[in-house]
Structures are given as C-alpha cells and as structure tokens.
A and B are shown apart, each in its own frame.
Chain A
Amino acid sequence: MTGTQAPVTAAAGSAPDRGGEGRPGRGKALRYIAGRLLTSLLSLVAVMFTAFFLFRILPGDPVRAMTEGRSVSVEQMEELRRQFGLDKPLPQQFVDYCLGLLRFDLGVSYQYRVPVVELIADRLWPTVLLSGTGTLLAALLGLWLGTRSAWRRGSVSDRVNSGVALTLWSVPTFWFGLILIVLLASGADLFPTGGMMTPGTTGAVAVTLDVAHHMVLPVATMVAVLYAQYLMIMRSSLLDEMGGDYLVTARAKGLRDALVLRRHAVPNALLPAVTLIFLNIGLVASGAILVETVFSWPGLGTLFYEALSVPDLPLVQALFIFFSAAVILMNLVADLVYPLLDPRVRS
C-alpha cells in the first residue's frame, strides 16, 4: 500500500514542476501542489528510515521472546536468528531493508511466519470497518450536536450536551468498553463480548448480520469517546461565525432563523471540522488500539500491539510506515482540498 503511493506522488510531483512556468496564475497553483507533494514524499522517506532504527532501539531479543519457556538449544536459537536475518551486521540489515522496500517487500513476520504485506492486507478491512464507522458516526453526531449547542449557547441543552461529551471524552476508553461489556454483553446478554464474528457462521446475510451485531459495542465505545472533539470544534467555530455581519444581512432579508443557520452559518463554520475529519480519516488505518484490544477486534491496532511485544521487527516497521503513510496522505488531501473549500486560502 505504502510503496505504491511513493512512486505515484513522485511522478506527479515532478511533471507539473517543469510545465508550470509559462502561465503565472496556473503556475502558482501547480507550484503549490508540487510543493505539497514533495513535502509529503520527503516525510514518507524520512518515516521509512526512522522505522528501521526506531524499533531496533527497543529492548529485547525477538529470538528470545519467541522461544521463551521452550526447551531450545543454542543451535536452535542461532537457526532462528538466521531465519530472521538477525545474524547479519546492522548495516547489512539496513541495506537489505532498503532493497526490500524498493521491491515492496517488507519482510516476513517473525511471529506469524507470513509476509507482513499479507498480514496487513488481511487485517486492514476489519480496522477500516470499525474505525471508519466509528469516525463517521462520531463526526455526524458531534457536528450535529455542536451546531445545536452553539445556536442555543448557554441553554440547558448546550450545557448538558457539552458536559456529557466532555465527560465521555475524559473517560478511559478501556474502562468504558469493559463497562459496556459487563452491562450489555454478559449482564443483559444482548451483544457478544468480543471478536468480529461467531466462529462457524456461514452465508453472506448471516455473516453481515453477525458482524453488525459484534460491531455495536466497539462502535458505540469509539463514538462515545470521540464525538466530543467534533462537538467542541463545531460549537466554537460556529460561535465565531455568529457575530458575522452577513448573518445580520441574511436575517434582514427575512430568512427564518433555521435557514440562516443552515445556509449561511454552518457552511462557513464547517472548515475547521473538515480539517479535523481529514486528520482523523488518516488515523482510521491505525485503528483504535484500545477499542480493538478490549473487544478483541482482529484489526491492525491489535496486530501492532502484538508485534511490539515481541518485537516482531518486520511487522512493526511495516505497520509504522503504513500508519504514517495514511496520515501523510490524508494531510496531503486536506491541503489540496482546502483551497477548493475556502476561497481565502486560494488568494
């Protein structure tokens, strides 16, 4: 995934650079885009280098971790070290790593013994499903409640809304998830305690419903913890807009209050929220480690956690690059989309 992005951005980055000199107006825009692409590409390369060294600073020996408590001889440990490629000197390992990156080969996981690219591909969709749904619902709920709060600022509903949101925001995710499990899964017996699917479920409809059933609690946890940030951003940016002269004008035209809000105030107040949404979409890939752990969701978050504990170097490296690339990409998209949304940035 990550690998494919790099060459695409590189190609796109160099082409406009050459052609953009003729016309000044378009040239400026192209230079802006090229600049953004180049920055993103540099960040990605920096991440790739960092990934290698960062995780080699971690304490611990993967071979020792994998053979913990086993009756292994020194020869067996050396054989494992050879299989993992850890018997080579560090510079050699780094060169191998870089050559591997050029071939999109990120190595073989120590603890699963399969190529890490396959592992990540396997775990990507559960994470996107959970985090994507959670982020989407949190954004919708937060923006809606934030708008209402700002429009009726100081009212009881404003205070209750903000209060509840901030309380949930400060609750530890892990604890909140467990409380939901105790109350609704094992207590009221309404939902599964964990996992993504009941083992042995077959048939497209049954599987879809089963997954939906398993998703309710983790998604609810994510939404409860996350929606406050959208609410607060929306509330404050809408409050900023509410003093605007154009709203007075709109009212003077005779527009109803609700219409003033929806057609005039909200579109302008949405800009900061859009930035936040893009940033969070970038984070969707890295999932929600805590939510995935407490609900035993087989996603990238738990994969990363398991990989770190070994440390399963090829896997942590690849995941680190992958997560970073997703954030870099979404930042880039936000940078590119922003001028389209906000005329002020264009000028």
Chain B
Amino acid sequence: MVVRQTPSRPRSSRWTALGAAVLAFVVGSLPTAAAAESADGAPTTLTLAVSQPVDSLSPFLAQRAISTNIHRLVYDYLTNYDAETNEPIGAIAESWEVSEDQLTWTFHLRDGLEWSDGEPLTADDVAWTYTTMMEDEAAATANGNFVANFEKVTAPDDATVVVKLAEPQATMLALDVPILPRHVWENVDDFASHNNDQDFPVVGSGPFVLTGYEPNRSITLEANPDYWRGAPGFDRIVFRYYNDQDAMVEALRKGEVSLVSQLTPAQADALAGESGITVNDASGKRFMGFTINPGARTQDGDPIGDGHPALRDRDVRRAITMAIDKEAIVERVYGGYAEAAEGYIPSRYGDYHWTPAGDERLAFDPEAANALLDEAGYERGEDGVRVSPDGERLSLRLHVHNDRPDYVQTGQFVEEWLTDIGVEVQGEYVDPGKIGDALTSGEYDLIFTGWAVNPDPDYVLGIHTCDALPVEPGTMRSDSYFCNEDYDELYRRQIAEYDPQERANLVKEMQQILYEEAVVNVLVYPNTLEAYRSDQIASIQVQPDPGGNIWGQDGYWSFWSAQPADAAGSSSGVSGALIAGIAAGVVVVGAGVVFLVVRHRSATAEDRE
C-alpha cells in the first residue's frame, strides 16, 4: 500500500515502508512471547510431539497407536494394568468373580462413576458397548476380537455386569475396549462413518477430556478434575504434530514440546548430556527378529509360494540362528540400547518371559553351525556355498523393511554372518508393503518381523497357530506359517487356564517350542527411547516401574501422574526482543523487493520529469 504513493516522495517513503514492515514484525512477535510466558498462573500444559495421523477418534474404528493411546486417556476401561507390574487391576470394575463352569464372569462396578457431562456411568453403558460390538459389524471393526467369544452381556442392576462366554477365556481382565456412554452413542446412525470428532468436548470418563482436534496439527485434552482416581497433575495435554523426527528433537531442545518418544540411539546419545532434558531409556514392548519359511501352506495343506525347500529341515534353521551374533546387533546396531533376545515375550513382562536353560541354548557359534550343516549332509560347493542333499544350492532371500534403519543394518550383518556358514544371502531391502506381500504369498525365505507385545500375550502367541494359516492364500493372521500340534495344544490350554501362574507356565512352554523349531527367531528387544524436559515436567510415572516407558503405556499412568515443574526459567522469556531483531533481518529480504519496486517507480518518475 505504501509503495503506491512513492513516486512523489521517493527517498523518505522508502524508509517509511521498511520501518513499517519492521514495526509490524516487532509488534507481531510480542503476543507470541506473551502467550508463552503466561504459563505462570494460567493452566499448565504438557506438550507431546507426535507424527502419526489419527485414523478415527471413534473407539469402534480406531486402529492406530495414536488414536488408541488417546482413548486410554479419555475413556475408562473395565479393567486397567498396574503401573508397576503390568498386572490387571480394577478400573470401572472394582471386583469380579467367575462361575464354577468358568463361563460366567460377574463384574461389580465402582460406586459413583460419572461421565464428563455429569450423567452416571452404569453397568448398562458397559453392556451396551460390548453388545453393540457383538451385533454391529462396523462397531466390531477395531475391537471385535475381544468379544468374539462372548455369548451374552447383561446388566442385572446398575452396578453389575455379567458376561457369558462360549468357551473359557483367560483374557477377561485384558479387554482393551473403551466403555462408551450409551446416551450419546445410541444416537449414532452408522458406526462405520462416525468418527467422534464433531462435537467437543467429547463425552468420556477418563482422567482427561478430549476438547479439540485439528487433523495433523494438534489434539487437545483437558484434565477431568472429578476423575475417581484423582485429578491429573497437568491442566492440559497437547499433542503437536511434527513430520520429521529430527525437527521433533529440535522442538524439544527449544522447549516447544515437553516430551518426545521413539528416539533413535544417536538422538538419545545427543540429548543425554543436555541440561533441562531427561532421557528415559526404557525396556521395550517390541521384539525384533525374523521368521524362516518352513514351507508356507494353507490350512488344508496346499503349498503356497516358493520358499527354499532346505528350510523345512529344522537343522538348517537352527544352524542359521546359531550363525547370528545377537550381542553384536545390540552393540553395533542399537548402540547398546537393546537387549539380546531368546524367548518370544520381551523381558519387561517378567511373568511370561522365558529364557532357554543350559543345553537348550542355540548360542552364537559359527563352528557348531557349520558342523551341524556338515552332519546334515549340506556339503560346500566349489564357490563355498553349501548344496543340499537334493542338489539345491543354499541361496536364500532375506526380506528386510527398508523404512527401519535398525532392520536394514541388522539385515546387512545377517547377510555377512550367513556367508560364514556357507549360506548365500540376497538381501531384499524393500517397502513394508512389499514385505507383507511376500509374506502373504509365501514368496520368501527369511523375512524380518517385529511386534509390540501387550501385557496379555494371547494375540502374539495366536499368530503362530495352525488356525492362523490362511484358508486361501490372502488374508491371514499367521506371521510365520508355523504350525505345530504341541504348540496348538498348549495354546488352547493357556486361554482356558484362569490361574495366572499356571497360564504363565504354559506360555513359557510355547516359547520353548518356538525357540527349538527356529521358525520364529527373535533377535533383540529394542529399548524404547524417550526424552522430556525436566524444566517442564517435574515427575512422571513409567510403566513398568522401574525401567518402563512413558508413551504408549497400557493405561494412563504417565499423563495422569505427570507433575508440572515450576514454570520459571523456560526458554521463551528472552526471545521477544531477539525475535524482533531477526524478524527485522528477514524483513530486509522482503524490503529488498519493496526497495526494488520503489526504486523502479521513483526512477521512472524522475525520468519523466
């Protein structure tokens, strides 16, 4: 606007334009700084950096970790998992009992529970939630697996829920299903298209209330001061989106966010020494490993794909696992932020974790692996690659996810180590979509895998049963084409075993079979690396305690327990003036353009004169 007047008074107005621009920026930077400083008396906010887009805020539909983690904070569940031990504890249900025939579970609800809109939370809400998932296919999209074995759910009175099962089910205290307010949700027409993101605040019953959602920008939760376990420490939780992991770390350094999760070992090392930042090195929920194609087939026994026939030989599979140096992976790939693994269930779940004893161990020993292959009749050919008794060269494909740097590095080591025992490996470092395609089509030899294990191990054990094999090639639950009668028998027994200790023993026996058969080979349990600003968060509960993680807990412990630090001394105090200074610098670029136009016009005017 200023520019248009310039021809008459060229020189002075040029400076006016620049001055006005600078002034605008100075004034502009003030409210921002003020907002940051007002943390003292006003609401305390814990900001978490996230990157995964929310798929749906409807608990009936949400599949992604970010969405289900938010549901943990805004809805209560029938039961919860203890912060220290991961064991099931009461939540909406205060106590429970099982009938003689083990098929009827009766839950007694806590007194005086309320929805965030003031309506009472009763047994009717619980029964309605489960029943809806049993009757409506769309409502079963996300959590239908939890109620698949339910015959009937009733609410004989406001404080009692009775679940009748078709078969005994030991996972009844691990139903990860958010309980929904019937008075709100029974008005929904179509559960498949209702995303629960239109009316805020969203009526819930957890320690926080969902009050705002801007897709891929931010999600805001406010504390529920009336929560039965007590009000949370922070007044507000904000999930802020960052698309780049390095930018996230910079945002933490700057104090823009209070908490960052899923750090790489290099990032954790870099942040470890910085003042005002605490790095949390937690035992991981995940295992990382690879499966060996044992001869992929359907449930009817029709072979699928083109796995190498020699891999049906258990000795070959065991030799392959013995050639891999897990300690080296821990040190060289994870920089020590991982644990060498043997059993299938990670060590953080102490009750279920299994380790081989004495002779059972398939320790790293290339010589023994070579001897095993020699004995089994796999002679080395002229090029050093072994040939099976049937005359097939031991030349194998290794499928590795190319989007995970730790997998890629591990894959490269595995290639090298297998060469030492006369097995030729072609690494195929490909998109995760392609990995999935290779698995479902059975067109692989060795393939990387990794799962986050829940406090209840039922599902991750179930993906290696014969039942999980595909009926026809295509959709399946199996992660390995593993099929073993003893394993299946143990699987059936553990799901019906209501005594936790007995069940844990069965789960350990299953892991022993997995280990001995060497189809599913777990390499390491990577640690979960997180960092938070200790000048914003004074204390925060980890799960399990000690040694546990903050983000992605089974429960709301971290965010519910977090206590704000004294707000003083955070990074934004000084910045107002500095922002103005640099803004002026940036304006110079813009002013350059202004300057050019001004000069152009004024010069033209002079020429005309």
Contacts and interface: CB of A to CB of B under 8 A. Distances in A.
B603 A258 contact: yes
A112 B145 contact: no
A277 to B, nearest CB: 15
Given A141-B593, A294-B247, A112 B436 contact: no
Interface string A152-182: 0000000000000000000000000010011
Interface residues of A, number: 78
Contacts of A306: 53
B254 A193 contact: yes
Contacts of A64: 433, 436, 440
Given A61-B437, A141-B593, A190-B579, A298 B241 contact: yes
Contact of B432 (A60, A113, A258, A298): A60
B145 A76 contact: yes
Given A67-B63, A114-B195, A209-B28, A196 B217 contact: yes
Interface in B49-68: 53-56, 61, 63-65
A296 B243 contact: yes
A253 B466 CA distance: 94
B357 interface: no
A9 interface: no
A77 interface: yes
A141 B595 CA distance: 12
Interface residues of B, number: 81
Contacts of A256: 607
A189 B244 contact: no
Contacts of A70: 63, 142
B74 interface: no
A89 B115 CA distance: 45
Nearest to A202: B35
Interface stretch (A39-47, A212-220, A319-327): A212-220
A284 to B, nearest CB: 19
Given A190-B579, A194-B242, A73 B145 contact: yes
B452 A69 contact: yes
B63 A189 contact: no
Interface string B415-435: 000000000000000111110
A200 B222 CA distance: 12
Interface in B161-202: 176, 192-193, 195
B243 A302 contact: yes
B31 A209 contact: yes
Contacts of A79: 137-138, 140-141, 144
Contacts of B217: 195-197, 199, 298
A13 B607 CA distance: 47
A178 B434 contact: no
Nearest to A114: B195
A304 to B, nearest CB: 12
Nearest to B51: A296
A209 B30 CA distance: 10
A343 interface: no
A83 interface: yes
A198 B32 contact: yes
B216 A111 contact: no
Main secondary structure of the interface of A (DSSP, over half): helix
A301 B176 CA distance: 35
B15 interface: no
A298 B475 contact: no
B251 interface: yes
Given A195-B240, A302-B216, A60 B141 contact: no
Interface in B458-510: 459, 475-477
A80 interface: yes
B29 A71 contact: no
B405 interface: no
A9 B293 CA distance: 56
B276 interface: no
B454 interface: yes
Q: Which of A65, A178, A193, A303 is the most central at the interface, judged by chain B CB atoms within 10 Å of its CB?
A: A193
B138 A83 contact: yes
Given A69-B65, A144-B596, A193 B144 contact: no
Contact of B55 (A66, A193, A259): A66
A65 B433 CA distance: 7
A137 interface: yes
A293 B61 contact: no
A191 B571 CA distance: 12
A122 interface: yes
A240 to B, nearest CB: 22
Contacts of A102: none
B440 A65 contact: no
A181 B437 CA distance: 38
A87 to B, nearest CB: 10
B451 interface: yes
A14 interface: no
Interface string B200-222: 00000000000010111110100
A11 interface: no
A102 B63 CA distance: 32
A59 B434 contact: yes
Given A64-B436, A81-B475, A189-B578, A296 B242 contact: yes
15 contacts: A59-B436, A61-B433, A71-B459, A75-B140, A112-B55, A113-B55, A178-B244, A184-B582, A189-B575, A193-B251, A199-B47, A293-B243, A293-B244, A295-B247, A302-B243
Interface of B: 27-29, 31-32, 35, 47, 53-56, 61, 63-65, 137-138, 140-142, 144-145, 148, 176, 192-193, 195, 212, 214-218, 220, 238, 240-244, 246-247, 250-251, 253-254, 256, 430-434, 436-437, 440, 451-452, 454, 459, 475-477, 571-572, 574-575, 578-579, 581-583, 586, 589-590, 592-593, 596, 600, 603-604, 607
